Structures are given as C-alpha cells and as structure tokens.
A and B are shown apart, each in its own frame.
Chain A
Amino acid sequence: MLEITDLRARAVGKPILKGIDLAVRPGEVHAIMGPNGSGKSTLANALAGRADVEVTSGDMRLEGASLIGLEPEARAHLGLFLAFQYPVEIPGVSNMEFLKAAVDSRDAALEREAMSAASFVKSAREAAERLQLTPEFLRRGVNAGFSGGEKKRNEILQMLLLEPKLAVLDETDSGLDIDALRTVAKGINAFASETNAVLLITHYQRLLDHIEPDFVHVLLDGRIVETGDKSLARKLEADGYARLA
C-alpha cells in the first residue's frame, strides 16, 4: 500500500527527516510515536505534498505510484488522506459545499459517475450521525468556530466520505476529551478494512487504547529507531522517549 524508502526532507530549510523507511500493507494499522520535534508532522506533510516541506531524496509510493513531485490534489486522487493536526477554518464556505466539492473532484479524477446531490446529502448526514454531529454542523462554515473536538470529528467525517486507501491521522487525538476520543476512535475503526490502511501519528498511547495498531514505530530525530507491536506503546508511556535517545 505505502512504501517509503530512505526519505529525507527539509522543512523551512532545516533537515528534519533523515532517512525514513516504512512499509504499510493493506489492512494494517501503523502508529508512529515520537517526542515533539522528532519529525512526525513533517512526515505527514511530506506525504500530503505541503509546499514548505522539501523532499531532498528517497521515495514514497502509494500502491506503486510515486508521490514525489505530485500536486496535493493528485495525491488525494491516488487515495491519500491526511487528517490535519490543526484543521484550517474557512468561514464563508459551508461544510456541505466543501465536502461535495471534494467528493466531486475525486469522482471526476477517477472517472466515476458523479454522486447525485440527494445521495451525497444522505451519505454526509449518515457519516455525521456516526460521529455524533448534528445536520446543522454540515451547514456551518468549514471548521469556523468549531471546538477542538468538532474540528477533529470533521476530519474523520471527510475521511469517511472520501474513502481513501491510506489515511494519515496527524495527532487526531490531541485536544479531545475522553468522549470525543471514543467517538473519533469509533469512526477510525469503522473506516479501517482489509483494503485500506491507517497511519496514526501520535504523542500518547491513549488513542491506542481504542485503536489497536499492528505496528508501533518510534520516530526520533528524523529516523525510525524502533519498531514493535502495541506493547511498545505501553513501554514508551511508562519509560518515556529518553531511554531511546
């Protein structure tokens, strides 16, 4: 599904990723953990194609297709989805309008028949309900005035509607209370299947109490320094990252 080989990247001129190797197969859930500044968000942004992250060498392949040099929208059309750590507020553009534009762009790029307005509204409402969001929420401006929890749930809502092959969730658990965390985790679990894959980027182990990862990787100073199963996350929670430094 995803193959990252010796990926090196700079952000605002500074080398951040110093040779990442990672392979994610369909049906797998991978967690990437690491302290602040270890390069977790840079990795997510490098995958999504943010302009201020400059990949200097190495490769990232999604189902065999290299992502290097592709526009962000082209990566999305290939099946990549990034749930933002800080979702952007766009007042004036309604959530519904935004979601429809995203789904329509995907369908056009994949030469699928466009969804009718009625069936789109129906599936958007269903997804919102699953995340315990009222229909009113779909009429509001994109993330405008949303609480932290609502913003994160809105990211998951987009993921459910866009049905990506690979979902990269950047600190989706941060800023969530226990109930919201449970709702978001439920959404992610409902999404995960044998045909897609999830890359969870997180500081803390608490999200992993609700979503069971197949692999846990520790990112430190731009490199993956340890890989294990979910027990590694518990160990990190108990000992901290200092042991690995």
Chain B
Amino acid sequence: MTAAERFQERLLDDARISPRYAPWLDRGPSLAALSETPLPEPRSYTWEYSNPNPWYEQNARGTDSRPNAGKVVASGDTRVADFDAADSRERGIIEANLNATIDRRRYPLAAVNDVLLCGGVVIEVPERARGAQIELRDLGGSFERALLIVGAGAEATLVESPAAPTHRVVECLVGTGASLRHLRLQGAADSFEYQLVSTRVEAGASYRFGQYAQGSGMRRNDVHIESAGDGADIGIHGAWHLSGQQHLDTQINVHHRISGGTSRQTVRGVVNDRAKAVFNGRIHIAPHAQRTDAALSAKHMLLARTAQAYAKPELEIYANDVRCAHGATMGEIDGDALFYLRSRGIGEPAARNLLIAGFLEEAMADHGREEARALLSPGSLQPGKLPRPLTRKEVSAFRLPADAYFHEKLS
C-alpha cells in the first residue's frame, strides 16, 4: 500500500464521523470523488517532479485549526461570511457555487481540502460595485477555502498574503463584464503545501492574476482558469525566487471553452542553491473556442549548478481559427550584462542582484508590483535562515500513524 493509498483510506474511514467545522456543508460529492479517484503518487501524471508523499505525512499528523485566526478585510458593501456562521441565504450561495469550477477527479487534493476543511469564507461583491478591496490572510486553519463571487460589471481586487502556510483552495467566479485583479504573495516556509486557484471568467470579463512566491519544503500551486464567455480576457503573471532546498511546483491550466477569449501567461523563475522549480503551463482550446488568442512565455534563470528547473508549455488545441504562441527558456546570468554593470563600478553581488531583479521584473504586473518586488528581491531572501526541510531519510521513513489523526477536525 502506498502512502497516498494509506492516507486516502484513513481519510475515507474518518469521514464517517460528522465534521465539527461547518457540519451543514455536504462533503458527499468530495468523498464520492475521493472514493473513485486515486490520490497523486510520486511520478504520477503532473507529479513527475514533485513528491506528494511528505504532504500526506504532514497532514496525517492532524489538521491545525486556529479558531480566532479568521482575517478577511473587505471594503465597501462586499459581504463576507464564514462557512461556519453562514445564514441560510449564504448557505444557499455556497451550495450552489462551491466546486462549480473544480473537477475533483482532476484535482483530488481539492476534495481532500473539502473533507478536512478548517476555515472557509464566502465573499460576495455586488453587481456593478466599484473598487472593492479584499484582503485574505489567515482563514483559520491548515485547510482553507475561499469562494469569491464578483457580480456582473463589478470591479474588485483580491490580495492573498497568508500569515501561516496553509492548504488553500480559492475559487473565483468573475461575472459578465466584471473585472478581478488577484494577487497572491507566498513567503518562504518549511512545510508542504497544496494550493489551488480555480477561476471562471464570464463573457467580457477580465481576470488579472499575479502569483509571486518564494519556495517551501514543497509547495504545489495549481491554477485552473476557465474562459467561459465570449471575449473573456485573462492575464497571468508569475514570478518565483527559490533558494536553499526549496521546492515549488506551479501548474497553470488555462481552458478556453468559448470563442473570442484572450489569455497571456508570463512567468519568470530564479532558482539558486539546491532548489527546484517545476512549471507546467497548459493552454486548452476547446472546439468551440474559435478566435482564441493565447500566449505563454516561461523563462527560468539558474544561479547554481545544483539548482534545477523543469518547464513545460503544453498546448491542446481543438479549434482551427486560433492564435496560440508559447516559449520556454532556461538560462543563467548573462556574463556580458554582468561585466557591463561591474564596469560601471557596481560590485559583483549587487550587479547580480540587479540582473536577477530585472529578470523577475518582466513577470510583474502593474498591480502588486511593489509587493512582489519586496517579496522576491534578492535582499529579502534569507536562505540561511530558512527552516530546515525534511531530510530524505525522514521522508522515506514516513508512515501513517496508526491512530485516527483527523479527530482534531472530524470527531
């Protein structure tokens, strides 16, 4: 029996006990998906370069709920409700929309998130609201969920800067003609994280997503964005800067379902020391999605011989009248540029830092630029101070504990 199978069996067994957090929420469909779908194994599809086993091990130790941690700051007439305290109207909204955009067979760890949920919020931006600002910090535990509904014609900004490492699933529904800017900032951590952003973009709507990350023990960021209406406009910016033994795996899937949509993905990654970056950027264009205009550019810069990056653009095109461009490169610091800066009196470390920052800058969108710079600037990384990731021995010695570990959450 593999670690994934043991974890899954334990999860399904314990799930018979009724959950303590938001017990009214029906976990049935997620449990059903989990009873049919195997969890990711080392080297299974999309997990070729990231080992999920430490994630199972870490979460078999139990979930961590922080009852008073809920921190959502929202402006204006944006409505925010905790799943646990939702009234009947809000429950109706949650039931109607939660997981509407998530294929749980494709993202089974999102279903695990449902079953082990420790904190969740539903956020509603009313139709035609202007300038709504939402800040998501710590939602109350190790398995978190946010459902954001941006009403038709509304304009909102969502900023995520989690105070503690979490497993978080964020679902965004961007209504017709609405506009959502979504900024995620992920600092360094030593834990194993799974995060999913799943967004549906309706006709004439615009979604700008910026994900800026340092690494962690293993951080997996799944991003699924669906262009679901004519003329939906999607822009994705991603930048990461990894050092020490950090590991970051980013899997972006842009699914063009309806005609006339545009999407742009620009990612830049810098990898140092023994760190490892994995990137998969997928553009799926369905048969009806004619006149789609999609592009993907992914560049990595390796700063050490022991640093690793795996980048793969994937195109899956079923329509015949589309524009679709992609490119991926691997490189190092340009020696000519370095000499140029040094010849101007800039010392080598500072010159390298300037070049690294300049490289990452290409993947920084206008919104959140300052925050992203502050997070990723070479000066802000402190690989020496990173908490120690698990050793190979610790990982291989991993066994699921015999006793029920989900009692914290489920009993």
Contacts and interface: CB of A to CB of B under 8 A. Distances in A.
Interface of A: 48-51, 71-73, 75-77, 81-82, 84, 87-88, 90-93, 97-98, 101-102, 105-106, 109, 141-142, 158, 162
Counting chain B CB atoms within 10 Å of each CB, the highest count among A50, A82, A91, A93 belongs to A93
B336 interface: yes
A82 B360 contact: no
Interface string B342-369: 1111111011001101111110000000
A93 B359 CA distance: 8
Nearest to A141: B358
B346 A73 contact: yes
Contacts of B341: 90, 98, 101-102
B107 to A, nearest CB: 33
A71 B362 contact: no
Counting chain B CB atoms within 10 Å of each CB, the highest count among A75, A81, A102 belongs to A102
A142 B334 CA distance: 14
A49 B343 contact: yes
Contacts of A88: 334, 336-337, 340
Counting chain A CB atoms within 10 Å of each CB, the highest count among B337, B340, B360, B362 belongs to B340
B344 A90 contact: no
B346 to A, nearest CB: 5
A239 to B, nearest CB: 35
Interface in B304-357: 334-337, 339-348, 350-351, 354-355, 357
11 contacts: A51-B335, A71-B348, A72-B342, A73-B343, A76-B343, A87-B340, A88-B334, A90-B341, A90-B358, A91-B358, A158-B344
A92 B358 contact: yes
A214 B335 CA distance: 35
A222 to B, nearest CB: 22
B343 A106 contact: no
Contacts of B336: 88
Contacts of A82: 343
B344 A102 contact: yes
A77 B345 CA distance: 6
A22 B348 CA distance: 30
Given A88-B340, A92-B361, A98 B345 contact: no
Shortest 9 CB-CB contacts between residues of A and residues of B = A92-B358, A76-B345, A92-B361, A93-B358, A102-B344, A72-B342, A88-B340, A105-B345, A73-B342
